[in-house]
Structure 1
Amino acid sequence: MDIGSMLAHNARKFPKILAIECEGRRYTYEQFNEESNRLAHGLFGQGIRKGEKIALMMKNSDHFAFSFFAAAKIGAVVVPVNFRLTSPEVHYILKQSDSTLVICDSEFEQTVAAAREGTTVRHVITIGSPGVLGHHAYTDVLIDNKENPPIDVSLADDLEILYTSGTTGKPKGALFDHERIFKVALAATIGMGLRPRETFLHIAPLFHSAQLNLFLVSGVLLGATHIIQRDFHPVSALEAIEKHKITNFFGVPAMYNFLLQVPNTSEYDLSSIKRCGYGAAPMAPELVRKSMELFGTDQFFNLCGLTEAGPGGVMLEPEDHKTHLGKGGKPIFMTEAKVVNEEGIEVRPGAVGEFILRGETIMKEYYKKPEETSKAIKNGWLHTGDLATVDSEGFITLVDRKKDMIISGGENVYSIEVEEVLYEHPSILEAAIVGLPDEVWGEAVCAVIVPKPGAEPDPQEIKAFCRQKLAGYKVPRRIFIEKELPRNGSGKILKFQLRQALKEIQA
């Protein structure tokens, strides 16, 4: 079943079930399908045809959901864009993806207007009143035709170009067809035990593959209710869980961290939560434990994957959290995973190698990047560039990106191991480990920390704390205290920005 037909199917099956609520706007599955159809006919009226690329630069909203499914229904290819990007960064994505139309929130109009110059973009549709000459109002594009558009869309047709996080350089567009995304949703449904008529809270950005494919698409597949919030605010999230009886919660580690800083969390009724998922970045075991206490459940899933897999990779199930907390997990449904050395041979338990994947959800290619595609996909295996270990029971644990591993005095230092220790310190809210050039050691292990509100951590005391738990060569030689860490829209820390900023400080 293609993704657009999936919504049409559930409009017939669950016509009166609440599908979406966003800022007080409520839509049943019948209305959700009709609104998507009205936009689909409108996009066709704008000259958009099957196979063309539609970029979405929007915060989470009902309009994002309508736009995604409208594009799917006419066989267009959705290009979700991180709304935090600058116009040069957006220009790169619009041009590289061959986007011909952009749908954006009014607050991003100026960014899009500057970014579209020199690209193939023909039209811009604005949610709200356009402030740029030539842009179309979303409501003016809608056509009063609520029937499903008569476009032949198959599972083999392309659906998404998901741009990688760009944590180590310019992002690449991972191309997926309907079948791959359907199987991503299916893997999430089976792996996490998702059920019909549950209630999902969407606070992580929908432009990110995890929230979009693992939870919006899977939730629509099941006929679930979607509570969509435009922005993440910890208090608003807790209020929404209580008010809407949320059953399924997903957040990046930073979100869990901020939820834990709310002073009166015990006053909120969070008992409706059946399961919690976390991913997009490593989550320290101590943070997982505290989050379990917050939500009053041990039904936590570590979703350890990457964009190029839909996302997909390995998963640590709730039962395994009891004995393997901190590990990535085992391969998800329809996926194989291995840890190999440079010759492609599986490493022995405990050794470090490259994490590689093969399965039904892996991208077709990097869009218009054949050389990068051939480097990433070899003999059907996706080479992730992530370093990992595997234990005797087959549990895989990511330890670092290849480019983030630190070699200090000839010893390999994996940043995640040091960061997990730092997160145990009572004064530290967030932490990142990077390597900086050092005349003696080659690279020096350096920590960038964000203190908890009101805390004044002492660098020497933090080093002493680390020495109790880490070998001497892993203990940070320098500690930098900052107000916040640079992150991309997926919640991942931009370590290359940190390294560059710290090098300039040292210069």
Structure 2
Amino acid sequence: MYLTQSLHRAVRQSPDVPFTVFNGRAHTARQTYDVVSRLAGGLRGLGVRKDDRVGLLSLNTDRFCQIALATAWADAAVVPLNTRWSATEHAYAVDDAEASVLFVDDAFLPMVAELRAKAPGLRTLVHCGDAPTPEGLVPLSDLLAAEPVEDAHRQGDAMAGIFYTGGTTGLPKGVMLGHRQLYVTALGTLLHTRLPRGGASILAAPAFHLAGFAFWIVGMMADMTTVPVALFDPVGILRTVQEHRARQTLLVPAMIQAIVSHPEAGAYDLSSLELLAYGASPISETLLTRARAAFPSAQFLQVYGMTELSPSTTLLQDADHDDPVLRRSVGQAAPYARVRIVDEKGTEVPPGTIGEIVAAGDHVMLGYWKKPAETAEAVRDGWMHTGDVGYMDERGYVFVVDRLKDMIVSGGENVYSTEVENVVAKHPAVAQVAVIGLPDDRWGERVHAVVTLAPGATLTLEELSEFCRREIAGYKCPRSLESVDQFPMSGAGKILKRELRASVRSGTGTPARG
């Protein structure tokens, strides 16, 4: 199985059925085949060769899908970039992946000059939006004018893409995933949902995230028309489901919260939706009850995993949501996965015992790009060590109770505290900083900065946020701030974040400001 296979099948079996629909612009399977084969020819003309990396900085659009397919068609690997990153972060990933070609849509044209300056290895920028192409960029029409080329049928463990995830050292890590890894998880998801073929699949979660990218693959495999939504808007999702009689979508709980809380939620016909998959962060029982009432015809599927697991390793099926105990779990191992709970020595522990969640199977990543030491640390004897702490019951249901890594999940986005701390520490008013995640009704978790200040210094949340936004994406910036006289420290001189969290959450710490 491989990324372009669904397109080949669609051309054979339903050539005139829309393959994508975006903002009223429809491309049938036959038309998509022509576009993709010409874009691949255009990439070859730009010097892209076997195993090269092609950057893609785009919102969810039909062109995102076409470019990703064309990259595989040209025997290369796609590098989707987080649309919420700063230019500095984009430049780092482009340089790290050694991508010489980058596609940029309209939303990111203001970044082009800074990208060029900070990513000197970037040879060609291709404009893939609808606005006039700025000077110095190659218009997408140039690539579409190329002669079509034959599909390379890139498959198996050949790298499909590099998907960047937050790094515990403060720099993103490129997760290498092959075609086999991506299709193993898609097949397993289809096995659990058993949806009939056809209909519309709403691509609402950002496609640069592996969750959105993988769900796009699921829709293609089920012969569904992909309907990308460029920017999340509750009414926009409601309208799109009703207009296209959509049968499935994937959302993060923060999106679900925004949709069901919108005053117009009841004004739309959502009866067509048969599957609502969700993941990336926990969902409260209250929100789950409201969501199931808002989407009465949909089966709910929770997926748990990480980018390194392509991206899911356990699935919580719809019927499990009816059980008050099981709905607090992340489900059982997917058909393609082996899941264990292990102690610090890597030995499996008995049911009910807390330990680290590890997973093995054909969905485990190929490794971290250019990071053999980190790969060896993460994948040991074939087992991916997730860094999540949990336990498994006698029936194989996994319950996540904490994280070994200091990762914060805010609105479905992974935020690594070290990365934020590295930026906050640069502020002249900050003497020392620790960043933790705190529960948040809207975002699931919010980024909370605890600082000790330099003598005589003051700092407001607004000042800190403005400072941080110069170097990192807005969602990573602290949403609350607190000043303390001193931190709880270990004997080795490390800040004890567990004690810090307990102090803040119990209200014994200094109240947050801003």
Do they fold alike, i.e. is TM over 0.5?
A: yes
For residue 90 of structure 1, report the CA deviation from its aligned partner: 0.7
Give the drift of 1:446: 8.4
Asked if 1 retains the 8 angstrom alpha-carbon contact of 2:6 and 2:223, the reply is no
Aligned to 1:266: 266
Which residue is 1:459 aligned to?
Answer: none
Distance in 2 between the 1:129 and 1:199 partners?
A: 27
The RMSD of aligned alpha carbons is: 3.2
Percent identity, please: 29
Q: Does 1:180 align with 2:181?
A: yes
- Is the 8 Å Cα contact of residues 176 and 366 (structure 2) preserved in structure 1? yes
Task: Indicate the larger mover: 88-97 or 259-268.
Answer: 259-268
Amino acid of the residue matched to residue 24 of structure 2? Answer: G
What secondary structure, in the 3-state scheme, does the structure 1 residue paired with 2:110 have? helix
Q: In the alignment, is the contact (CA less than 8 A) between 1:109 and 1:131 conserved in 2?
A: no
Q: Where does structure 1 lack aligned partners over 5 or more consecutive residues?
A: 406-414, 420-431, 437-442, 453-480
Question: Which structure 2 residues correspond to residues 221-240 of structure 1 after superposition, within 5 A?
Answer: 221-240=221-240
- Deviation digits for residues 273-295 of structure 1 (CA, Å, limit 9, x no counterpart): 11111011111222111100110
Find the aligned partners of 1:451 and 1:375 in 2 and give their Cα distance: 34
Contact 2:103 / 2:125 at 8 angstroms: preserved in 1?
A: yes
Shift of 1:249: 1.8
> Aligned pair in 2 of structure 1 residues 192, 451: CA closer, same or farther (>3 Å)?
closer
Matching residue within 358, 366, 369 for 1:367? 369
The residue number in structure 2 matching 1:123 is 124
Calculate the TM-score normalised by the size of structure 2: 0.79
Counterpart-to-counterpart distance in 2, 1:446 and 1:169: 16
Report the CA distance shift for 1:446/1:131 in structure 2 as closer, same or farther (over 3 A): closer
Counterpart selection for 2:140 from 133, 138, 141: 138
The amino acid across from 1:394 in the alignment is G
Residue 280 of structure 1 aligns to which amino acid in structure 2? A
Secondary structure in structure 2 of the residue aligned to 1:181 = helix
Q: Which residue in 1 is equivalent to 2:314?
A: 314
The alignment partner of 1:502 has SS state of: strand
The answer as to 2:395 corresponding to 1:393 is yes
Deviations 1:24-82 (A, max 9, x none): 10011111111111111111111111111001100000110110000010111000001
Residues in 2 aligned to 1:399 and 1:368: alpha-carbon distance in whole angstroms: 32
Find the counterpart in structure 1 of residue 213 from structure 2: 212
Is the alpha carbon distance of 1:290 and 1:168 closer, same or farther for their aligned partners in structure 2, counting shifts above 3 Å?
farther
| CA deviation string 1:67-118 (max 9, x = no partner) | 0000010111000001111111111101111111100112312324423434
Letter in 1 for 2:74: I
Amino acid at match of 2:45: G
Is 443-452 or 165-174 further displaced after alignment? 443-452
In 1: Cα distance, 2:247 partner to 2:28 partner: 19
**How far 1:132 moved relative to its partner?**
4.6
Shift of 1:150: 5.3
- Inter-partner Cα distance in structure 2 for 1:82 and 1:233: 18
CA–CA distance in 2 between the matches of 1:133 and 1:166? 35
Query: Retained in 1: the 8 A contact 2:19–2:224?
Result: yes
SS in 1 for 2:396: coil
**Gapped runs of 5+ residues in structure 2?**
422-433, 444-460, 485-509
Q: CA deviation at 1:238?
A: 0.5
Q: Secondary structure at the match of 2:395?
A: coil
Matches of 1:333 and 1:137, distance apart in 2 = 44
Comparing 344-353 and 233-242, the one that deviates more: 344-353
Match for residue 150 of structure 2? 149
Q: Aligned in 2, Cα 1:341/1:497: closer, same or farther, shift over 3 Å?
A: farther
Letter in 1 for 2:122: V
**2:390 touches 2:401 (CA, 8 Å); kept in 1?**
yes
SS in 2 for 1:271: coil
Q: Distance in 2 between matches of 1:350 and 1:378?
A: 23
Match of 1:191 in 2: 192
Partner of 1:331: 333
Q: Rate the CA distance shift 1:326–1:448 in 2: closer, same or farther, 3 A.
A: closer
Residue 301 (structure 2) pairs with residue 301 (structure 1): yes
Q: Cα 1:500–1:168, aligned 2, differ >3 Å: closer, same or farther?
A: farther
AA aligned opposite 1:35 = V
Task: Give the structure 2 partner of residue 345 of structure 1.
Answer: 347
CA deviation string 1:223-282 (max 9, x = no partner): 211111111100111111111111112100000000011113222111111111101111
Question: TM-score scaled to structure 1, two decimals?
Answer: 0.80
Matches within 5 A, 1:352-501: 352-404=354-406, 447=438, 449=440, 498=478, 501=481
- Counterparts of 1:225 and 1:265 in 2: how far apart (Å)? 24
- Classify the secondary structure of the residue corresponding to 1:196: coil
Q: Which runs of 4+ in 1 moved over 6 A?
A: 443-446, 504-507
Q: Match of 2:123, as an amino acid?
A: R
Distance 1:379 1:201 in 2: 38
3-state DSSP of counterpart to 1:99: coil
**Paired amino acid for 2:308:** E
